[in-house]
Structure 1
Amino acid sequence: MEEDGQLRSVLFLMTYLLMKRRRDINDANNQRRNEIQRRIRHRQYFFQRQRRMIMMMLAGGIRSNARIRTRPWTTTPSTDWWERVVMTEFQPSDWLDKFRMSKETFFYLCEKLRPRLARQDTSFRLALPVEKRVAVALWRLASNIEYRTISTLFGVGKSTVCRCVRDMCHAIVALLSSIYLRPPCEQELEDSAQLFLLNLGFPHCVAAIATLHTAIITPSNNASDYINPAGWLSVMSQVAVNGQGQFWDVCASFPGGTDPADILQNSSLWATGAEGRLSPAKPPIFMGKPLKYVLLGDTCYPLQSWLLKAYPEERGRRGSHTSLTKQQQLFNQRLTSALRVPQEALLRLRARWQCLSKRNDCGLDVVPTMILACCILHNVCESHGDAFMAEWQEEVAAAESPHPIHKPVLSNSVDESHAEEVRQLFCDYFEQLNA
C-alpha cells in the first residue's frame, strides 16, 4: 500500500511538471508573437509617416513651381483655388461680393487678428496661413452656406472650417472690441448729435436702440423660451446705433421670447444711461436748459429721462385711436423718422453677414460671439468706407422670416418720474420749429 501511495505521488508530480512546462512554452510563444506584431505595427507606422512627409514635400514643390493658368476660378480645382485664383485673379468686385469687404480692409483685418490666429507648422501638416483662415471664416459669415461646401472650395476639412469660424469670431471680439465697439467719447457724442439733427431733424440725440433676432436651430433645453412673438426660434440682441449707422453697444444671447425692456434693464447700457455717461460732464443746453443727451427707442421700452419713445396710441372699443395733441403727433412723426437709423443699420448688417438673416446652425455657445463679431465687422467696413451692394439687401428681404413686433409698454410704473418733462421739451421744440 505504501508503494502504491508513493507511485501515485510521483505520477502526480510528473503530470504537474509536464503541464507547467507546456504552459510556459505557450506563454513564451504568445510573447514572441505579440512582439513580432508590435514590431510590424511600428514599422507600418513609420513607413506611413515617411510617406506622408514625402507627399507633403512633393505637394509644396508643386505649389511653389506651378505657373500654369487654367479655366476661370469657378471651375478651378480647390487645391490651388485660394493661392492662385483668389490672391492673383480676384478683382475688387470679387473681394467685395465674396468677402463683403475690400481687399485693403481684408488684409488690414488679417494683420489685426494675426496675434490670435497665427499657427505653427507641425511634422505632419502645414499650418493654414492667417489670410486663408480669415477668408474661410468670412465666407461662412457672409453666405451661411454649409461647412461641406466651404471645405471643398478651400481644400480643407469640415472641422477646419468650423474651427476657423470659431477662432476668428473669438479673435475679433478679443482684439477689436476696444477699437470698434466701445463707449463714445465727448467728441463722438457731439458728432452723432449733429448727424441726427442734420439728417433726421431730431436734436440732442446721440443714438437709437433696437432689437435683432437671429434664427437658430431648436436648442436642447428650454426651447419654448426661444420662440419670439413672430412664432419662430431666435436669439435676441439689443443694439445701440449712432448717427453714422455704426454700433456703439451690443448686448447679445438672450432667448427670443425675452421682453426687450428686461434686456435693457439688465444691460450695461441701462447703467450707462442712468448715470449720465452718454453725455459730457457739463450737459449741453437745450431749449434754454442744461439737458443730457438722449437715446431713442421703440414703444416696447420704458420712458426715461435719457430714453425717449413715442406717445402711445391706444385703440378704443370701436377700433378708433385715442386722440393725441398736435404736439404729440408731431413728436411721434419725428421720432419714427429717426428710428430708421437703427433699422437701416440692422438691415445692412444682416445683408452683409447673412449668417444673421438665415437660420444659423451653430450651437448656442457660438451664436452670441458670432453676433458680436459681425457687429464689429460691420463697424470695420463702415469706418473704412467699403461699398454696400443693393443686391445683398434684396437677397435678405426675400429669404428672411417676418420680423417680430414686440408689445408696447403701457404701464407707467417702469417710467421715470420726470421723464415726461423731458419729452415735453422736445414737443415744444418741434412746435416752435413748425411755427
Structure 2
Amino acid sequence: MAPVRGAKRRSKAAAEKKAAMAAAAAAGGALGAGGGDWWDGFCMRMSGALSCMEDAQRFESIFKMSRRTFNYVCSLVKDEMMVRSSSYAFLDGKVLSLEDRVAVALIRLNSGGSLVTVGSSVGVNHSTVSLITWRFVEAMEERASHHLRWPDSGEMEKIKSIFEKIQGLPNCCGVVDATHITMCLSSAEPNCKVWLNHEKNYSMVLQAVIGPDMRFMDIVTGWPGTMKEWSILHSSGLFKLCEKGARLNGSKREVSVGSEVGEYLIGDAGYPLLPWLLTPYQENNLSDSKVEFNKRHAAAITVAPRTLSKFKDTWKFLHGEMWRPDKHRLPRIIHVCCLLHNIIIGLQDAASAMDEACVLSDHDTNYKQQVCQLADENAVRVRDKLSEHLACR
C-alpha cells in the first residue's frame, strides 16, 4: 500500500498509540501494582539465578520487555488466547490464566529452548507449550498487525529529517537489509538443498526495511537461503510498489540549483543500484565526493545490522536450535517476532535496551558480503547528485 497523506491518517495513528497506552495501563491495573498475585505465583514456578534479581529486572530478563509492555500484549491477544479457557493446565492441575499463557509463549520465543525445556521450567507439558505458542502466534497475527506498516506521509517526513540530521542524507526514507534465519533440516528431507545457503547452512531469509528508530517498516520472509538478496528484493511487494511509483513517491528534495532527488532507501553492496535504492560506490580510486558519500552511507546503514542483531538476540527461537521448525509456519513466527519488536519500541520500552551504544554481534556472523553489479543509469545520476551535494556541505 502506498503512503497515505493527510491529517486523518495521522490522527488515526495518534489514536492507535493512545489506545495502546490506555490498554497497557488498564491491564497493569487489573494485574495489580508491583507484580500482583499472578507474577508472584509464576515466579514460584521458576527457579535458578533469576530468584536473586530485583523484581522488575527479573521480569525483564525473562520476557525481554517491561511489565507495562507485557500487559499491553496480553490485552491484544486476550480474546483469542482465552477461547478455550479450561483447555490448558499446569502439571499440578491449575488452569493457566491469560498471563500464564502469554508468558509461556514469550519464554518459548525468546529463550529458544526446546518444548521439553520450556515446559519443565514452568511446570507444563511440552505439548501444552506447543499449542499455546502457536495460539499466541495466531492471536498476534489477528490483533497486532497494525504495529508493522509503511509510515504515512507525516511519519515519513520525520524519518527523513532524522536521517538528514544524523548523517546528512536528504530525503532518505530507510535502510533495506536481509538476514538468514537458521533452520534445522535433515539432508534426507525432500528439496532440502533449496534451503542450503552459500555458507552451507539451512536457512530462510528475512528482508526488512528499517527506520532510524530501529523499527521494522516493511518485511518479507519465507524465501529459501539459496536466494540472493537482489533476487528476494525483485520478488517482493516492496520492489513492485516502488517501481510503479506507489511507494517512495513523496516530495522531492532540491540538492542544488535545478537538481533534485526523490525519496529513496539505502542498502549495502548486495543490492542493485536503483533510483529509489542507493548503494555505495564499489570502484577503486574514488573522488573525494564519492568517498564522502560512501562514508555517510556506511554510517547511516549501520542501523540495519544493529536492529537485526538485536532482533535475533532477543528472539532466540529464530536461531534454529529448536526442534525441527516447520518451514511453513516459520514465516508466521518471524512476522510475529517482528510485531513484538515494534511494540517494544512503540511503547518506548526501557527494557528493550535498543541503544545505539550497545555492542552486538553481527546478525549473520561469518557470512561473506554478497555483491550485486546491477546499476540503473538514472540511479547512477541520482547518486552522483547526492555525492556532489554532500561534498559541498
User: One fold, TM greater than 0.5?
Assistant: yes
Say if 1:278 and 1:293, in contact at 8 Å, map to a contact too: no
Which residue is equivalent to 1:207? Answer: 174
Quote how far apart the aligned CAs of 1:420 are: 1.0
CA distance in 2: counterparts of 1:226 and 1:123, whole angstroms: 36
Please state whether the residue corresponding to 2:392 is helix, strand or coil: helix
Mean Cα deviation higher: 203-212 or 193-202: 193-202
Q: What is residue 416 of structure 1 aligned with on the other side?
A: 376
Contact 1:189 1:279 in 2 (8 A): no
Where in structure 1 are there 5+ consecutive unaligned residues? 1-68, 314-321
CA distance 1:187–1:200, change in 2 (3 Å): same
The whole-number CA distance in structure 1 between the counterparts of 2:359 and 2:62 is: 14
State the partner residue of 1:117.
81
Cα RMSD after superposing both structures: 3.0
Structure 1 residues 127, 221: closer, same or farther in 2, change over 3 A?
farther
The superposition leaves residues 205-249 of structure 1 with CA deviations (integer Å, 9 ceiling, x where unpaired) of 010000111111115222222222222111111000012110001
Q: 1:162 corresponds to which residue?
A: 130
Matched, 1:99 2:63: yes
Check the 8 A contact 1:195/1:244 in 2, yes or no. no
Aligned to 1:209, what secondary structure does the other structure show? strand
1:290 to partner: Cα distance? 4.5
Q: Describe the shift of the 1:123–1:302 C-alpha distance in structure 2 as closer, same or farther (beyond 3 A).
A: closer
Answer whether contact 2:88 2:96 (CA < 8 A) is retained: no
Structure 2 counterpart of 1:144, from 93, 103, 112: 112
Query: Separation in 2 of the partners of 1:282 and 1:394?
Result: 34
Q: From the superposition, tell whether residues 390 and 108 of structure 1 become closer, same or farther in structure 2 (CA, over 3 Å).
A: closer
Q: 2:289 aligns with which of 312, 323, 327?
A: 327
Residue deviations 1:276-335, cap 9 Å, x none?
Answer: 34445543444344532110011111111100001123xxxxxxxx32222222211111
- Structure 1's 158 and 373: CA in aligned 2 closer, same or farther, altered over 3 A? same
SS class of match (2:377): coil
Per the alignment, residue 212 of structure 2 pairs with: 243
- Identity percentage of aligned residues: 24
Q: Which amino acid aligns with 1:192?
A: I
Map 1:69-84 to 2 at 5 A. 76-77=44-45
Q: Distance in 1 between matches of 2:137 and 2:114?
A: 17
TM-score (norm 2): 0.79
Q: Give, in whole Å, the separation in 2 of the partners of 1:113 and 1:121.
A: 13
Alignment partners' CA distance in 2, 1:285 and 1:306: 16
Q: How does 1:251-270 map to 2 (within 5 A)?
A: 251-270=220-239
> In 2, distance between residues paired with 1:295 and 1:124?
46
Query: Match for 1:371: what amino acid?
Result: I
AA matched with 2:315: W
Partner of 1:307: 277
Report if the CA contact (8 A) 1:186-1:280 is conserved: no
Higher relative contact order (CA 8 A, sep 6+): 2
Q: Unaligned regions of 5+ residues in structure 2, if any?
A: 1-36
Aligned partners of 1:424 and 1:247: how far apart in 2?
28
Q: How many pairs align?
A: 342
Matches within 5 A, 1:35-434: 76-77=44-45, 91-121=55-85, 128-177=96-145, 179-218=146-185, 220-279=189-248, 281-288=250-257, 289-313=259-283, 322-357=284-319, 359-361=321-323, 362-387=325-350, 388-389=352-353, 397=361, 402-410=365-373, 412=374, 415-433=375-393
Contact (CA 8 Å) 1:186, 1:279: kept in 2 or not?
no
User: Using a 3 Å threshold, how does the CA distance of structure 1 residues 198 and 348 change in structure 2: closer, same or farther?
Assistant: same
Q: TM-score, normalised by structure 1?
A: 0.72
**Deviation, structure 1 residue 106:** 0.4
Deviation at 1:409, TM superposition (A): 1.2
Q: Between Structure 1 and Structure 2, whose CA radius of gyration is higher?
A: 1
Q: Which moved more, 1:146-155 or 1:253-262?
A: 146-155
SS at structure 2 position matched to 1:236:
strand
Q: Aligned pair in 2 of structure 1 residues 360, 215: CA closer, same or farther (>3 Å)?
A: farther
- The whole-number CA distance in structure 2 between the counterparts of 1:101 and 1:75 is 16
CA distance in 2, matches of 1:285, 1:390: 33
1:264-286 Cα distance to aligned partner (Å, 9 max, x none): 01111112222334445543444
CA distance in structure 1 between the aligned counterparts of 2:154 and 2:235, rounded to whole angstroms: 27
